[in-house]
Amino acid sequence: MKKDDSLIFVDEVKQTEDLSDQFKDYWHLLVVDDDPEVHAITRLVLSEVTLLGKELKLHSANSSQEAKQLLLNDTPFAIALIDVVMETDQAGLELINWIRKVKKKLNIRLVLRTGQPGKAPEREVITNYDINDYRSKTDLTSMQLYTLTCACLRSYRDITAKKVAENENMLKSTFLANISHELRTPMHSILSFSELSIPLLTKMPASRDVDKLKRYSNNINSSGKRLLILINNLLDIEKLGTDSTNFIPVFSDFIDIVNDTLAEMEGFLFDRLIQVNIENKSSDTRVWVDPTLMLQVMINLLSNAAKFSPQNSVITIDITDIFKKIDSDVNKVSQAVLAIKVLDQGIGIPEEELLTIFEPFVQSTATKKAMEGSGLGLPICQKILSFHQGQIEAINLPDKGACFSFQLLKTENIE
């Protein structure tokens, strides 16, 4: 046969590729067949076709050996249409095993096209070889070839996107795990040394320079503390991720979690002269929670309430039993839950920002300028509560102040 100009043969690959072509993004499709007619027909049906936003580029190999050479290049092949009988009766099948098992190319969609179905019985091949489709050449009309290519490209695109996302996620997690130690260690020494230098400076004879140095040390210390909170929050939100592997729920008494929160925040609340009232209207406060994560939620909510409230004000933690209506598969059921509210007498939240404050790094326009913070506390709370099959919401109180509420399950799971 006269070589068709539009066919790309192995030995011509380098020459035929125009330079500008190298920078173009294509779907690469490999046709492996010892019958030139098959290449010609495939090209007729699929050349100059644009699918899912990209042009198709066809590559041709006349034997499984030629195919291997092409597959060893960097070309990201999306699909290979492979004939069974070529150099040998099993050449196509061997090529498939080489691609999947030896070269571990798992993304490429492999379609077996055979002219002699007897040589490779469909059932046996589908069971034993890692292929994505099996077609008899005679059955494959041009429309079917087009449809098959489209379907394969979609699945290749989805698999590749998922792999890319998984890889990025893994890289990010490894990076953060490694960097977390590297970030925290110097931060701790910055904090300790700035703290230690203040009493030393106090002992020195008073002068303007000593005063300046004290101010500098205090600034280093308070900025360092803010940075450490930000680093910890960033690492927390990353660690929580989207999967709930760190979520270990057990039956815990919510009152114990409240008491632990108050113990942890004693100094913070005392400095701000803020009183906390617990209004417990429930007879049984045991809930199905991860106590460590729930402590983190309560600390975030209480520190926000204290941060955005005036001195001498009161924060109320309201605990009530309620029955929540849930649509199960069969009918409506009631689920016993503990409803928690944290109410403060602070500045409240602008109505149109009641939802956006749950987004990472967002702070309300009422508080932005005045208060320090990372804007990650509420997204962390929201994520933790989603593991508990719950959600958190904010409203403003009629008089003044904000109210954050969420619910916790009293039983292990929703039926």
Binding residues for Mg ion, rule: CB under 5 A, are: 304, 377
Question: Which tokens is 213 given?
Answer: 């140095």
Q: Which is nearer to ligand ADP, 34 or 344 (CB)?
A: 344
Contact flag: residue 402 with ligand ADP (CB under 6 A) = yes
Q: Which is nearer to ligand ADP, 91 or 305 (CB)?
A: 305
Contact flag: residue 347 with ligand ADP (CB under 6 A) = yes
Q: Which is nearer to ligand ADP, 32 or 298 (CB)?
A: 298
Q: Which of 106, 10, 24 is nearest to 65 (CA)?
A: 10
- Min dist. Cβ of residue 339 to Mg ion (A): 22
The CA dihedral of 213, 218, 220, 222, to the nearest 10 degrees, is -170
| Side chain identity at residue 46, one-letter code | L
- Min dist. Cβ of residue 409 to ligand ADP (A): 24
Candidate residues 33, 308, 338, 392; the one interacting with ligand ADP per rule CB under 6 A: 308
In DSSP terms, 403 is beta-bridged to: 343, 395
The Cα–Cα gap between 177 and 283 comes to 43
Contact flag: residue 374 with ligand ADP (CB under 6 A) = yes
Contact flag: residue 305 with ligand ADP (CB under 6 A) = yes
> Which of Mg ion, ligand ADP, none sits in contact with 357, Cβ below 5 to 8 A by type?
ligand ADP
Task: Determine the residue with CB nearest Mg ion.
Answer: 377
**3-state secondary structure at position 81:** strand
Q: Which is nearer to ligand ADP, 13 or 230 (CB)?
A: 230
Contact flag: residue 357 with ligand ADP (CB under 6 A) = yes
The Cα–Cα gap between 84 and 101 comes to 17
The Cα–Cα gap between 96 and 32 comes to 11
Question: Which tokens is 178 given?
Answer: 């490694």
Q: What is the DSSP letter of 265?
A: H
- Min dist. Cβ of residue 400 to ligand ADP (A): 10
Angle at 168 between CA 162 and CA 174, to 5 degrees: 135
Interface positions with ligand ADP (CB under 6 A): 300, 304-305, 308, 344, 346-349, 357, 363-364, 367, 373-378, 402
